[in-house]
Structure 1
Amino acid sequence: MKLKGKVKFVNKDKSLFFPTLRKRVDAYFSENNIPRTANTTMVVKSIVLLLSYVLPFLALLAFQPAWPLSLLLWFVMGLGVAGIGMSVMHDANHGAFSNSKRVNSLMGHTLNLVGGSAFNWKLQHNILHHTYTNVVDMDEDIQDRLVLRFSPHTKVKFFHQLQWVYAFVFYGLLTLYWVVAKDFVQYSLFLKNGVNTNTPSQNRSWFLKLITMKVLYFSIVLAVPTVFFGIPFVEVLLGFLLMHFVAGIILTVVFQLAHTVEGTSHPRPDEHGNIENDWAIHQMNTTVNFSRKSKLISWYVGGLNFQIEHHLFPRVCHVHYPAIADIVKETAAEFNIPYLENETFGQAVRSHIATLHRFGRLPSLNEAIG
């Protein structure tokens, strides 16, 4: 199925919401003489998060601590993997880290450092998720996964009734699946559906780089500790799995709290492929903020708790989201557009669990209509 150009948004009511909002946000940056990209806080954060991934691994090799302590180091690495994913590579691959394409590319490839693929991620996230948020068959991030259902438009199965119980276990498998198989699956998928527009020669070159990167990643993380430092492979493997389980749960939960919670919509295009809504208002209807007032959460999750601001202004570095959030909220109220948010992390988690529970029992809207 070709996805490119399949669905488009039609601003039937000629809403002036986004032009007005964009003008006000532009004025904030120009009047305060603030660049939209990274500041000192962002640079320091990036260094801290990268070191939280690299230093524990070096400590494992250099000191070879007892197994309980080594697991703690792997645990910290998991926190680092998630932090890099949310706070470093994410902004860079959106072009929001720096005005320099070279710097954005370098920081964006920190995803490759933790076993992923920056190229695939841009196709899945920047093109599909950000353009077609919560549109089933278009937004790959809400596609059903094995025993998990994230859309009211897909077929409900008997085991989905318990997904609110077992979902978090499967969330922990996300990054492990990513580094082992997901990039290869997406390579084939994005070629078939037209999202990957590279030439055949470019794709052959990229696929070779992908294989090389995977070999290097697994060699360094799994083989080097055993072959060159004599650490038992079982200990290394268990630590590796713990690292990815920690990173997987964090990354998946943070994402789900922004889109798979109560109050969000899941619109479907009509028979002509049209969604009769302004794209920006669609983002407001499908995206939820959480814990906006928590500085600790905002620091660690890379502003992904300001998901509304991120979806509207993805090329603005996340360190600026707290400042522009009030502008977005006030403008939304002026145009009678909902500004969806959960005030605390706990409220957001409960809302997500309630949505999993509802989707686990809710018949497909297509079946209900039929």
Structure 2
Amino acid sequence: MNPAKKIRFVNKDKNQFFSTLKKRVDAYFKDQNLSKYSNTTLIVKTVVLTAIYVVPFCLFLLFQPPFAVSMMLWALMGIGLAGIGMSIMHDACHGAYSKNEVVNEWMGSIYLTMLGGSPFNWKLQHNVLHHMYTNVIHFDEDIKDKLVLKFSPHTPVKSFHKFQWLYAFLFYGILTLYWVTAKDFVNFFTYTANGVNTNTRTQNIIILSKIILAKIGYFAVFLGIPLFVFEVPTQTLIAGFLLMHFIGGIILTTIFQLAHSVEGTTHPQPNSKGEIENDWAIHQMNTTVNFSRDNKLLSWYVGGLNFQVEHHLFPKISHVHYPAISHIVKETAEEFGIPYLENPTFAVALRSHITTLHQLGHLPDLNEAFG
């Protein structure tokens, strides 16, 4: 059974926050004569980040430099991998890169396949479960317990969780490696079994075949061709491949965690009727935190994921517009008496995440503050 069908948001107070906010944001784009989608900045960014990911790999294959230089090239690829995921693929898979849905589909599919992932699974986990049910345990996949990590106050505390604030980032570093090897298959069969995936058997056979072919193509490009065509030393190749994923995994996971697993966010649970007694948009405001809104360089690289409040409210607006509309969102939230959660810098947000990991890993009574 589809777990997403068991829960709904009930706006008992008939709050007009989101309808008012949407009108104001729409008016901004109309008054400024702007498209809600990509602009020159995003197109240039697409070229730059793609180059950071692709060019070092080509240089590695063609010149096979010394080990230290090779590792530097793979490290650059890790930075490019994370940048593409946050800035290009993310917008495209949300339908925010272009007003043309075909362009969004192709951009999302091409770039996510380049990173070793499945667009089908990603959209179900991220667009459906995470965006609709942010911080709701058993619905939002991003906060469910993962091996030795705990992100929700509503799951059992294990003895080793008290140390997770120390070892969490090591596990963050293996996220993309797990993603390109096993996660897509685990998610595909899980979503098919629980009903999140509503496709027919025939459609699922086609989807699974595409996932398998994409994985074969990915590993052929990054491991097969270097080994058998360019005869790259095996140890150098494996070390570089793992380094790329470790760097990309730490960056991607940390940036996403700073939006929801920090101090000040709530973790509401549905009542016996499967209802969360709150307006959906206000729920997003209570469970999502911005950081470093004034840091233009960081904002450029992380694809506006430091403006997660705006992204969760308007996922189909390209991230290049978030700095401008954030002022509208904040002013409207203050007008309606709704919290606009943010941390002023990356360092403050990171410290808050570590504190949250520490609190979640200790006695249950410490977790009561999370709601």
Alignment partners' CA distance in 2, 1:305 and 1:243? 23
1 CA distance for matches of 2:247 and 2:190? 27
What is the alpha-carbon distance in structure 1 between the residues aligned to residue 118 and residue 59 of structure 2? 26
Structure 1 counterpart of 2:61 = 61
User: Which residue of the partner structure matches residue 121 of structure 2?
Assistant: 120
Output one character per residue of 1:128-173: Cα deviation in whole Å (capped at 9) or x when no partner: 0000000000000111110000000000000000000000000001
Is 1:242 equivalent to 2:243 in the alignment?
A: yes
Taking only aligned residues, the RMSD between alpha carbons, in angstroms, comes to 1.3
Q: Structure 1 stretches of 5 or more lacking a match?
A: none
Aligned to 2:123, what secondary structure does the other structure show?
helix
Q: Distance between the aligned counterparts of 1:365 and 1:202, measured in 2?
A: 46
In structure 1, distance between residues paired with 2:365 and 2:57: 46
**CA shift digits 1:103-128 (9 cap, x unpaired):** 10111020111100111100000000
Equivalent residue runs for 1:163-312 within 5 Å: 163-312=164-313
User: Measured at CA, do residues 367 and 342 of structure 1 come closer, stay the same or move farther in structure 2, by a change above 3 Å?
Assistant: closer
Once the two structures are TM-superposed, the CA of residue 364 in structure 1 deviates from its matched residue by: 7.7
* SS of residue matched to 1:42: helix
CA distance in 2, matches of 1:269, 1:241: 40
Q: Quick one: distance in 2 between partners of 1:23 and 1:29?
A: 10
* Percent identity between the two aligned chains: 63
**Distance in 2 of aligned mates of 1:204 and 1:145:** 28
Report the alpha carbon displacement of residue 362 of structure 1 after superposing the two structures with TM. Answer: 3.5
Letter in 2 for 1:97: Y
Post-superposition CA distance 1:326-348 (Å, at most 9, x none):
00000000000000000000000
Q: Which amino acid aligns with 2:353?
A: H
Deviations 1:175-210 (A, max 9, x none): 000000000000011111211111111110110111
| Number of the residue aligned with 2:135 | 134
Per-residue deviation, residues 68-91 of structure 1 (Å, max 9, x unmatched): 000000000000110010000000
Are the structure 2 counterparts of residues 367 and 29 from structure 1 closer, same or farther at C-alpha, using a change threshold of 3 Å? Answer: closer
Whole-Å separation in 2 of the counterparts to 1:307 and 1:281: 14
2:153/2:368 contact within 8 Å kept:
no
Does residue 37 in structure 1 map to residue 37 in structure 2? yes
Residue pair 2:360, 2:366 contacting (<8 A) in 1 also: no
What does residue range 87-166 of structure 1 map to in structure 2 within 5 Å? 87-109=87-109, 110-166=111-167
Provide, for residues 41-63 of structure 1, a one-character-per-residue CA deviation record: whole Å limited to 9, x for no partner: 00010111111111111111111
Secondary structure at 2:299 match in 1: helix
Q: Provide the TM-score with structure 2 as the length reference.
A: 0.98
SS at match of 1:198: coil
**Cα distance in structure 2, aligned partners of 1:277 and 1:288:** 18
Equivalent AA in structure 1 for residue 108 of structure 2 = G
TM-score scaled by structure 1?
0.98
Distance 2:364 2:189 in 1: 31
For the pair 1:4 / 2:4, whether they are aligned, the reply is yes
Judged with a 3 Å threshold, the aligned counterparts in structure 2 of structure 1 residues 366 and 306 are, in CA distance, closer, same or farther, namely closer
Asked if the contact 1:153/1:365 (under 8 Å) is kept, the reply is no
Contact 1:156/1:364 (CA < 8 Å) preserved in 2?
Answer: no
Contact 2:333 2:339 in 1 (8 A): yes
Q: Is the 8 A contact 1:154 1:364 kept in 2?
A: no
1:234 CA displacement? 1.2
- For structure 2, the 5+ residue unaligned runs are none
SS in 2 for 1:361: coil
Q: Distance in 2 between matches of 1:30 and 1:82?
A: 33
Quote the Cα distance in structure 2 between the aligned partners of 1:252 and 1:279. Answer: 25
The code of the aligned residue for 1:205 comes to I
Partner residue, 2:52: 52
- Runs (4+) of structure 1 exceeding 2 A deviation are 364-368
Q: Is the 8 A contact 2:4 2:129 kept in 1?
A: no
